[in-house]
Structures are given as structure tokens and as C-alpha cells.
Amino acid sequence: MLVSKLVCERMKEVPQDAKIKSHILLIRAGFIKQVAGGIYTMTMPCQKMSQKIQKIIREEMDAEDGQEVLFPVVMPRELWDQSGRYSSIGDEMVRFKDRGGRDMLLGMTHEEAAVHLVNHTVSSYQQLPVMIYQLQTKFRDEARPRGGLIRVREFTMKDAYSFHSDYADLEKYYYRMYDAYYRVFKRIGLKNFVDVKSDSGMMGGSIAHEFMLITPDGEDSIVFCNDCDYRANMEVATSVIAKGERVDEEAHEIFTGDDKTIEEVCKRLNIPASKTVKAVVYAVKGSADELIVAFVRGDLEVNEAKLKKALGKNVVAYDGGISEDIVCGNIGAIGLSDKLIKVFDKSLQGESGMVTGANKPEYHIAGVDVDRDFGVKEFVDIAKAAAGHRCPVCGGTLRVENGIEIGNIFQLGTKYTASMNMTVNGPDGTAFNPIMGCYGIGVGRAIGSIAQESNDDYGMILPMSVAPWQVHICALRYDDDAVKTKADKLYADLQAAGVEVLFDDRNCGAGVKFADADLMGMPIRVVISPKTLASEEVEIKLRRDKNAERVALDGAVAKISELIASEMDALKA
Amino acid sequence: MLVSKLVCERMKEVPQDAKIKSHILLIRAGFIKQVAGGIYTMTMPCQKMSQKIQKIIREEMDAEDGQEVLFPVVMPRELWDQSGRYSSIGDEMVRFKDRGGRDMLLGMTHEEAAVHLVNHTVSSYQQLPVMIYQLQTKFRDEARPRGGLIRVREFTMKDAYSFHSDYADLEKYYYRMYDAYYRVFKRIGLKNFVDVKSDSGMMGGSIAHEFMLITPDGEDSIVFCNDCDYRANMEVATSVIAKGERVDEEAHEIFTGDDKTIEEVCKRLNIPASKTVKAVVYAVKGSADELIVAFVRGDLEVNEAKLKKALGKNVVAYDGGISEDIVCGNIGAIGLSDKLIKVFDKSLQGESGMVTGANKPEYHIAGVDVDRDFGVKEFVDIAKAAAGHRCPVCGGTLRVENGIEIGNIFQLGTKYTASMNMTVNGPDGTAFNPIMGCYGIGVGRAIGSIAQESNDDYGMILPMSVAPWQVHICALRYDDDAVKTKADKLYADLQAAGVEVLFDDRNCGAGVKFADADLMGMPIRVVISPKTLASEEVEIKLRRDKNAERVALDGAVAKISELIASEMDALKA
């Protein structure tokens, strides 16, 4: 491909709305162009990169007996009513009426379509397990698309669905996919990624893992143990917290004036936050009257994902509207209205000598023994793990890092096959609901993640396996006949040898050419110029290296082919 | 791939709503499964076929310097307001509001997106011409989806857009694409197809060609000359009609009673239809008051596409509502209300001795001399060509055949670049609107067209270049150890030789296996059974042939590879 012809606008300026590195670089290199919020056109280099990633994904899915199919983007409401997701998914799903007035939607994932296809088509347990997958456009109406290709509204996704006779078979297959995911991410050149246990969210089901690229710009928080293998998405991470010393004291009201926050109360009473009880109020989404008070120890935070799971309800932060049952800043479990749903975190169990709100202005209650005074039936885990907490597995110290989710796998169970009445016949002829797993990778996010991880101050450093072109030739003084002749020949020879080449044939200065080559990030840069040709040489440099190497022109194709092979070797799974 | 594992339900019954062969066969072979009207899931064999077609399209587009990009499916209204198509396209375009209340749409074609991308990115005439293309999902809310993959609502389309400095360059490139289209259709195994001149419809622009597969089940009508190369889509086809003998007569009213149709009037007066003037009433869509009366010679029909073009208005059949200006069955040009828009076809020019309506019940006017009595300012071509008419080029005889549109190419001109204010700088620095062309191929429709053309009573006969698998092995008595061992080895050996194989490993009768192999249509069938193994042989048969050939087992891989190569040779463009 000739740079002079490439529809791809490079720019020096950092785009205004781009905050993270991958977003800045993909825009600056002209790989993507925004059409609307979270909606991009991919230019040729980005689309080539996307296709290389897709090819690697296909190879790994096919290796796990996957059958590639194509589900529709637009689906009828009826299908999603069967699973219940037409109503359970919120505004992120686009719904519209077709010209016949029928309710349609843009698919966010394709569990329903997968069950629709496999139902009847597979009728006997003997055909199981089967896995089907697709690479298809998805649209999710994200409230706040951001980060370039990291959080978009429209994207290409690989989504896979497996069907099994029993949980043991799902488990076995699930870990084959788990391994396949490691191979995919390794092969596309990602380096610092891990799998973490995660919440199954809107997918339903029980066990789930996310694959996370570790990066400070990531929006997800991941809890790691410094001393063992324990790691989990913050949403599901658990931790062990040291209990306070036992204090025998009667509960008694104390005047706390206008001090309402944990910080203020602790300061006034000269106690640590761990001796207080924090009360956080939530509302149930779509149910104006249902208020929830979550109690955790004052030095901890409420983990909303865990709270939602514990309640089986979609809770949102309480907007502070008027409720006669709540005295903001002085809420406590003693004497609190029965109209409120109360949830108590495990961190409070057994704690004594605690300070909690008195449910009236200007007063708290001190000397509280949680087990004695709160009348708690059940303590549940709704606290956020935090750096410095103890590991639930080994007791080691936990730390928290940020990450970008690059893939996820779920054990769905029978959520969809049961709700959609899909059965197959078992060995004794009895019909049963197959057990499902599902497995997703966002292709655009993979591109964003690669750009996020592999770069330097000058631009992207693309891995050989996914770079749009393997080699970027900079022909300096291309208006010089000798340069033109030899550069054209090198370009032709490399292509004849099966090498993918981007060839900067423009009549512009070396500075512009080098800057573009660095920005776009092809793994090998070749410079051919009057200077190199004086000794019948070219200059070859790996994008990631500082120093270039001079190579005889007639050995350049062989040298470049070697470099490509060795780079590819390093990316083998 | 093992048939026992393939998620693909074959069926014997003809599906109720399937009327045309390709629809019946694709459903019966389990290639597609309907999710909603005009919306299908493609199973693995169909998706593989789709990918092979896409690969061929890519190769031919790349050969014409195409740059593959990816435009979004969902686009914002603003972009389509610029071109004016947001309002000019009707219900077939899906519109919805996103969660922020912004008007969005599902792209039907991507001229707007193409201009959005190339605008600014290409700034100088020196970068032109450029061609960008994509393979992407499209949704068009067809009023009556039908014919399986022939007329769907959701489909994968290759759409390409070229930008040029002048019309001469567009013209040159347009015919490169024209040639590329012939190569694509030949390579994917279509046989009986032609290009025809066509109407540019909602695309705008002037010159356009459609590529048509000739088949009685086609919905398009194509006019061919038996004696020269003239051919055109019915929408734009012209023809020459013999004029009637000159008759000198005064116009005079005659009583025609309840006879209103051309047929009735001709019978009463004992004259041929060519001696009458037909009047057809149309309304302008969205404009209740504007009525149009189109006049053609009584033996002809009105071509609505031509009428629309002549008027520059979207006309629809008049619903017969009350209009005091119209006396149904007795409409004529003499004395007709001036409130009506009148259009006169060229067929009427110079005709005399004609009978036309008198604009009052029970009367017509005879002895009409069109040029003398109608006061026509301009005759335009709004008549439908028909079999038996004369060719406008050579005077030969025309015939009409049915076809399916498999591709189209358009010379768009500056419709989009001008309306969207896209300019590039010319040699003297003056900004100008680039000239555009656009070029489409529907991938799903190509699959449908192949199934439509290549089949017999038992199923599809897929071309080697696009068949999901090249070979279909039927292992008879697979429960027999010898068969299993040798069939497994043949399957492995063929795959090792790079052959794509579908392997029927099921424990079922030969009849079921042969029926499935015929239905699914892989080009080479290999039978291995106790009988063939008795002489250490297998049976090899081309799907299209009646007779099979016995080949030594140890020569089977070589023989099959030869067959594949010779089949592929025959499909070279």
C-alpha cells in the first residue's frame, strides 16, 4: 500500500476529548474517525488490524470445535421476551418498531439467538457438546462512551455459546475456552493481562471470569493478593478484615451536633473509623418506595455489585429525596423504621463499643454491641475489598490495580435453555435443558488495548501478528531517480516474498516520514535514501528499538523475512 | 467437519412460505433459519459460503486499488440531513432515538459515511482517485421480504465508493469496476448473468448498471434485443413502436355506454387497442391534491419508473378517491381540467383517428388527431417496453426475461460531495467537489442466486469456489471397524492435503446420507463402504454428474485434489 494513496489522516495535535493513550494514538494515526459519540469509522489500517485479530480468534475457536455462524443484528422482541431480557435490560438496548409496528431490538449479546438456532436443530444428548460462535456487529447504547475504541457504542464482537449435557462437561469445556483465551491474547501481542473471577451480571449464571489488561487507565478495579494467586474483579472480591477488640459497654446516646460524616464524628469523639457503623441509603431502581440501608463498618465502603446480588434487586444511589424515615447523617440500626430494608455487612459481626446514628438530629449512640443491639438475622458480604486488607485465601496482603476488560467467559447454566424451553433427549429418552456457557471478546477493544499497552512517546508499537503491515518503507528523496528505482524494486520484491508493506512514496521530508512511521507503529521500519544507497544499503529498525542496522540492499528481503519470522515466533501461544 | 456435530437441521418437507427454489433449498439444507420476516441466522455451511464469496470480492476490490474500511451500521441523523436522504428515504430506513434522545438510523448504504471519511482526509486532487469499500451488515425494512436470501431485511453487503477529479476518470474507473464485477460473478460460479442499464433510483446520479441473474423466478424484468446487444432493466428500457396509418377525420363524440376499459371500448367499436388513448391516473406521494394523468397509446402500459423520472416526483397509483375533475373510464386529454398534471407518451405523437375519453359518462371522442387536438407541448417517454416491440438500437425484436439483481454500479457525480460540502484542491489550488461512483454486491443474495441457479431435483450443486466444503465423505456402515478405520484415515489424509471435508460419520442408512449429500450440494461426494473396501476402493462422484467412478483408496487423495484443481480452473475469471 502506498502512503500517498492511503485514506488515513495523521495529525500532530492531541484530540480534545481524548484522555487515554490508546484513544489519542488511534485518532492521531488516522486509524479511526468519529462519526458520533462512541461510533467510529475504521480506516484501512485499523480494519486490517481488526481482520488479523479476527483471524486469530477464529483459529482458536475452531481449535475448540467451534462452528462459526452468523446471527442477526436486528431481532424481534418475542425472542427476548422468552428469556425475560427484553424487559430486564435497560436503556443500553436499542428498541424500535419496524414498519409493520412490530417491536424489534439491536442485539447486545446473542444467547437468545443461539438457543433459537440450536433448539430443534440439536435433539439428542449425543450431539452435545456443541459450540457455535460469530463475529458480528453489536450496538450497546452506552450512557458515556469514551476512551476511543475502549468503550464504544458500536463494535465487532466474537461471541460464542456452548451447550452441554451436564455441568461437568460445561466445566471441562469452560476451561478449554479459558486456555483458548490466553492463547488469543498472547498471539495478538498483549502482555500484561490476567484472568479474574467476576460477576456474571446481566448474563445470569454463576461462575464467570474476566480477562483484564492491567493498565492505570483501566476503568475496572482488580484485587490481587501479594502472596498467593488470589485475584478478583472488585465487584466480587472478598477480603478478611481484622476485628476490633471486645468492649463491654451499655449503649447510650451522645450529642454529636452537626457532625454527620464518619470523619466528623470520629474527630469529635477521637475514635478510629473502624469503631463506627456506616449507613448508606439506596433506592430500588423503578420502585420509588423501596429504600435500603446498607450497614458496613465505618472504615469500609459498600460494594454495590455485591449488594445488588445479595438483594437480587437493582439498587441505585438514593437521591436524597424526602423520606420521613431517614435522618441523613444520623442513621442507625437501632430504632430505624421497619419500612426500610436493612442489610448488614459481615464486617459488623461481633463488633462492640461501636458508634452509630441515633435516627434523630444531633445524636449518635455509642457503646453499641452489634450482636446484642442490632438484632441482625443474617450478616452478608457487601463490603468493598481494599488495598491492605487480608487475602481470603492465604491471609496475605491485598493490593488493587486498574484494568481494561478484554474478554469474558460465563458458566450460564440453564437460564436460557429453561426459560426458552429448549430441551434435548437424554440417554433414557428423558428431555432435559442443556447447560450453557458463553464467551465474548470485543475486537475493537482488543485493538484499543494493544494501542494502550504497546506504545512510546512517538506512537504505537504494533505486534507483528496484528500490525496492518509488517514493514513500513520510508523512501527519502523519492524524487531522486536512483532512490525511486531501488525503493520501487524493494517494495515489489518484499511483496513477492509475501511481506505486507506500507510504502511511503510521498515527496516530503524525512521528518514527516519518520514521524508518521513512528505514529502508525508498523513493527519494522526500512529507510532507503541517497545516503544508504551510497553503500548499496538500507537501514532496518524494529519500531520498538532505538538503533537501526545497516543491511546490504540485496540481502534486505532475506533479513526482513527473518525478522518477521522471529517476531512471530515470540508471539506463539 | 463431522456431520454428527454440525448444527444444521436438514428437512424433507418444503417449508410452507417458500415459493422459489433457492429459498426452499437453503431452508431444507439447514443453511439458514428464520428469526423474523426477512431476518435469518446463517449456520456454519452458509457462513462458510458467505466468507468464501467475501474473500473473492475482497480480492477483486483490492485488485482495483480498493481500501477496505468499516463504516458504522448506526449513524446520526445529522450526517443524512446533509445529503437530504434522512427525509427523502421512506419507511425502509429504520430510525430511532438513542438514550440521549438523538435521532439515529440504520444505514442502508454508506455514501454519507464515505464522504464523511474522505472529506478532509483527502485534500488534494493528487490523492485521487481513491476507492474505499466495506463488507458490513445492512438493514432495510422491506415491506415484503421474501424468497429466502433473495429479498431480506438484514444482509451483508459489499459497498464501495470511488472519488475522482473529473468525469473522465470516473468513467474509466467505473468500467474497471464493471469488469471486476464480471470476474466476481464468474468466480463465485454464477453462469447466466448479464449487465443491464438501470435507473439510479435513490442513489441519485446518472449512468448505472445492474448485474442480473437470468431466472424465471426473478422479480426484475429485463428487456433484451434478439438481434443486437441492447438490453436494459424494464425501468429504463426504451422501444420503438410502429406508428398507425394516417387517418384524416374530425374529432366527434360517440356514445360508449358503460364500456370503460380499453378492451370494452375496442370491442364495441371494433378497433385495435393501438387506435385508442389510454389515460392512467396517479397521485403524488405525500401531496393529496396533486393528481397526474399519464397518456399512452392504448396497446401500451405506463412505466412508473420513467414517469417518476420525467416528473421528478414520487408518484403512486391513484387510489380512486373522489375528484370532480375525473370521470373514471372516460378520461381524455380534450377538455380535461387544468388542475391535473398531464403527461403524454411519445407513442401518441403523430397518431390520428384515435379514440379517447370525453370526460363525461357514457361518451368517448373518436377521430382524434393527437398533434391537432391535444395541444401537447412535449411528448416524453413513459411507456413500458414489451416483448415484440422493436429495438431502439437496431430495430430488431425485443423480448423480456426475469432476473435477480446480483450487483449494481452507479455514476453518482457530485450529488453527495456537493450537498455535503466536500472539496479537494485542484492543480491551480481551486477547490472542487470530487466526482463519485458507488458499487454494491449483496453477499446473501449471491448465496441465494447460486442456490437458485445451480441445483437439481435433489438439492444444491455448489460451485467449487464457494462450497462450504469441497468434499463430502459418506462413510456407509461406519459402525464397521474396517470402514471406520479407513474412512477416518481418508478424512485425516484429505485434510492434511489441504482439502476441506465434510464427513458423514453418523450411524444411519445410506439413503439418509446420500439424500443429505445431494441436498447440501458439496461438489465432490466420496463413498466409502464395506463394498468399496472389498476392492480397496472408494467411489468418487461430482455432485453434478450422474455416474460415480471407482478409485483405489490409496490414490483417492491425489484424484480428489486433481478434481478440485480442475473445477477451480474452470471458475477462473
Q: Which of B8, B27, B35, B71 to mutate to test the interface with A (most CBs of A within 10 A)?
A: B35
Task: Name chain A contacts of B118, Cβ cutoff 8 Å.
Answer: 7
Per-residue pLDDT at A288 exceeds 80: no
Contacts of B70 in chain A (CB under 8 A): 41-42, 46-47, 50, 156
Residues from chain B that touch A136, judged by Cβ atoms under 8 A, are 137
Query: Is the pLDDT score of B263 beyond 90?
Result: yes
Contact A116 B41 (CB under 8 A): yes
CB spacing of B72 vs A40 below 8 angstroms: yes
Rounded Cα–Cα distance for residues B329 and B359 (Å):
9
Q: By C-alpha distance, which of B516, B545, B517, B523 is closest to B462?
A: B523
Q: Does domain B21-219+400-452 have CATH number 3.30.930.10?
A: yes
The one-character DSSP state at B421 is T
**Chain A touched by B69 (CB under 8 Å):** yes
Record: contact A96-B95, CB cut-off 8 A:
yes
Mean pLDDT, residues A137-148 taken together: 94
Which chain B residues contact residue A102 at CB under 8 A?
36
Distance CA A131, CA B7 (A): 9
Q: Nearest-CA neighbor of A45 among A522, A546, A541?
A: A522
DSSP secondary structure string, A208-221? EEEEEEE-TT-SEE
* B377 in Cβ contact with B410 (< 8 Å): no
**Per-residue model confidence as pLDDT tens digits over A313-365:** 888 888 776 677 888 889 999 989 888 999 999 999 999 999 999 999 999 99
| DSSP string for residues in B182-202 | HHHHHHTT--SEEEEE---GG
DSSP string, B154-177: EEEEEEEEEEESSHHHHHHHHHHH
Q: Which three cell numbers stand for residue B537?
A: 476402493
Could you tell me which chain B residue has the CA closest to the CA of A90?
A: B99
CA B351 to CA B346: how far, in whole Å?
A: 10
Distance (Å, whole) CA A293 – CA A280: 6
Task: Give the pLDDT band (50/70/90) at residue B231.
Answer: very high
Helix (H) or strand (E) holding B130: strand B130-139
User: CA-to-CA distance for A257 and B441, rounded, in angstroms?
Assistant: 75
Least confident of A14-23, A455-464, B322-331: B322-331
Tell me the nearest-neighbour CA distance from B123 into chain A, angstroms: 10
Q: What pLDDT is attached to residue B322?
A: 64
- pLDDT greater than 60 at residue B237: yes
Residues of B in contact with A106 (CB under 8 A): 74
Mutate to test the interface with A, among B26, B69, B112, B124 (most CBs of A within 10 A): B69
Q: Cβ contacts (< 8 Å) between A141 and chain B: which residues?
A: 98-99
Q: Return the domain boundaries, chain A.
A: 48-221+400-449, 252-380, 469-570
Cβ of A39 within 8 Å of Cβ of B75? The answer is: yes
Q: Do A35 and B122 touch (CB under 8 A)?
A: no
What number is the average pLDDT over the span B95-116?
Answer: 97
The total of other beta-carbon atoms located within 10 Å of residue A560's CB is 24
Residue B151 to residue B144: CA distance in whole angstroms: 8
Cβ separation B104–A7 shorter than 8 A: no
Question: What residues of chain A lie within 8 A of the CB of B1, using their CB?
Answer: 67
Average pLDDT over residues B161-168: 96
Q: Nearest C-alpha of chain A: how many angstroms from B176?
A: 18
Which residues 473-512 of chain A have a CB within 8 Å of chain B? none
Q: What is the C-alpha separation between B302 and B382, in angstroms, rounded?
A: 6
Looking at CATH, the fold of the domain delimited by A48-221+400-449 is given as: BirA Bifunctional Protein; domain 2 (3.30.930)
Interface test with B, best of A5, A40, A131 (most B CBs within 10 A): A5
Contact A252, A276 (CB under 8 A): no
Mean pLDDT, to the nearest integer, of A136-142?
96
| pLDDT band, residue B324 (cuts 50/70/90) | confident
Per-residue pLDDT band at B318 (split at 50, 70, 90): confident
Q: What are phi and psi of B34, to 5 degrees?
A: -75, 135
CA distance A474 to chain B (A): 18
pLDDT band at residue B312, thresholds of 50, 70 and 90? confident
- The answer to whether the peptide bond before residue A463 is cis (omega within 30 degrees of 0) is no
* pLDDT value, residue B494: 98
pLDDT-derived band at A385 (thresholds 50, 70, 90) equals very high
Spatial separation of the C-alpha atoms in residues A72 and A57, rounded to whole Å: 20
Average pLDDT, chain A: 94
Joined grid coordinates for residue B471: 468434499
Q: What is the pLDDT of residue A201?
A: 56
| Alpha-carbon gap, residue A298 to A348, rounded angstroms | 9
- Number of CB pairs, chain A paired with chain B, less than 8 A apart: 176
The answer to which of A107-111, A195-199, B369-373, B549-553 has the lowest mean pLDDT is A195-199
The shortest C-alpha distance from B307 to chain A (Å) reads 26
Q: Please give the share of chain A, as a percent, with pLDDT higher than 70.
A: 98
How far apart are alpha carbons B532 and B517 in whole angstroms?
Answer: 18
> Per-residue DSSP letters for A290-332?
EEEEEEEETTS-B-HHHHHHHHTS-EEE------TT--TT---
Answer whether residue B340 shows pLDDT above 60.
yes
Task: Identify the DSSP state of A15.
Answer: P
Kindly determine whether residue A67 and residue B35, on different chains, have CB atoms separated by under 8 Å. Answer: no
Tell me the fold of B469-570.
Rossmann fold (3.40.50)
Q: How confident is the model over B127-156, as pLDDT tens digits?
A: 999 999 999 999 999 999 999 999 999 999
Q: What angle do helix axes A481-496 and A556-570 make, rounded to 10 degrees?
A: 50
Q: Kindly state whether A319 is in contact with chain B, defined as any CB-CB distance less than 8 angstroms.
A: no
Q: Which fold has domain B252-380?
A: YbaK protein (3.90.960)
- Asked if omega into A361 is within 30° of 0 (cis), the reply is no
User: Do the chains contact at A154 and B7, CB–CB below 8 Å?
Assistant: no
Do A132 and B1 make contact, defined as CB atoms within 8 angstroms? no
pLDDT above 70 (res B160): yes
Please report which confidence band the pLDDT of residue A198 belongs to, taking 50, 70 and 90 as the band edges. confident
Q: How far apart are CA A305 and CA A201, in angstroms?
A: 9
Residue B294 scores a pLDDT above 90? yes
Q: Tens digit of pLDDT for each residue in B446-483?
A: 999 999 999 999 999 999 999 999 999 999 999 999 99
Is the Cβ of A77 closer than 8 Å to some Cβ of chain B? no
3-state DSSP helix/strand/coil % of chain B, to nearest 5: 30, 30, 40
List CB contacts of A485: < 8 A, sequence separation 6 or more. none
B53 at interface of A, judged by CB pairs closer than 8 A: no
Region A212-233: mean pLDDT is 94
B135 Cβ under 8 Å from any chain A Cβ: no
Quote ipTM for the complex.
Answer: 0.92
Residue A298: how many CA atoms within 13 Å on its side-chain side?
A: 26
CB contact under 8 A, A72 and B8: no
Average pLDDT over residues A412-425: 96
Q: Which whole number is the average pLDDT over B169-178? A: 96
Q: How far is CA A509 from the centre of its chain?
A: 41
Interface check B399 vs A, CB under 8 A = no
Among residues A190, A203, A243, the alpha carbon closest in space to that of A439 is found at: A203
State whether residue A113 sits within 8 Å of chain B by CB: yes
Q: Which residue in chain A has the smallest CA separation from B67?
A: A44
Which of B43, B117, B141 lies at the smallest CB-CB distance from A41? B117
Stretch B396-413: mean pLDDT: 96
Is the minimum CB–CB distance between B44 and chain A shorter than 8 Å?
yes
What's the average model confidence in pLDDT over B102-107? 97
* Mean pLDDT on A389-396: 95
